[in-house]
Amino acid sequence: MAELRTDRLVLRRWRESDLEPWAAMNADPEVREHLGDLLTREQSDASVARFQAEFDRRGYGWWAVEVEARGEFIGFAGLDEVDDYMPFTGVEIGWRLARPAWGQGYATEAALTVLAHGFDTLELPEILAVTTATNLRSQAVMRRIGMTRDPADDFDDPTESEGPLRPNVLYRIARSARI
């Protein structure tokens, strides 16, 4: 699979050198605030192994994101099939960045490139995005990339018990509606 590039970023396959900063992200309570429990190093490494296997199987998935000018790993962005237990089906876009990369437009930049790949290369008819109802930063990115939300589609995550991670929102964008 070819890399995806923006003016500032490279979205690429994962490297061994990404494991340590990825583990640090997964151990950061602020990064994990809307995701659930912190991950151990072993859990974090296992997630990368899953990402790589899914990429090999499908030809798309979660790319490692690097700031090209510095060669610095800052997180991930990509596409994934919606989990079977969710109350809807489709392909979901997502991103997760290390705290020092927040507020610099990287999530929006990466997401726009992932959307273009999903629509132009994979020819997906629609792409979804899901986050907790309290994750306003991610919802802002979803709106900036042209996604819309119908509150009738909001749902409770069936894997979460009562609490702030249970209420979720669903955003959508159709290929015909892209910005």
Task: Give the model's confidence band at 79: pLDDT under 50 very low, under 70 low, under 90 confident, else very high.
Answer: very high
Contact in structure between 51 and 26 (CB atoms under 8 Å): no
Which CATH class for the 3-174 domain? alpha beta
- Provide the residue ranges of all domains of the chain, joining segments of one domain with +: 3-174
Task: Give the model's confidence band at 178: pLDDT under 50 very low, under 70 low, under 90 confident, else very high.
Answer: low
Q: Which of 92, 15, 94 is nearest to 48 (CA)?
A: 15
The pTM of this model reads 0.94
Cα–Cα distance measured from residue 72 to residue 90, given in angstroms and rounded to the nearest whole number: 31
Q: Which of 57, 138, 134, 58 is nearest to 93 (CA)?
A: 138
Cα–Cα distance measured from residue 123 to residue 112, given in angstroms and rounded to the nearest whole number: 15
Task: Give the model's confidence band at 169: pLDDT under 50 very low, under 70 low, under 90 confident, else very high.
Answer: very high
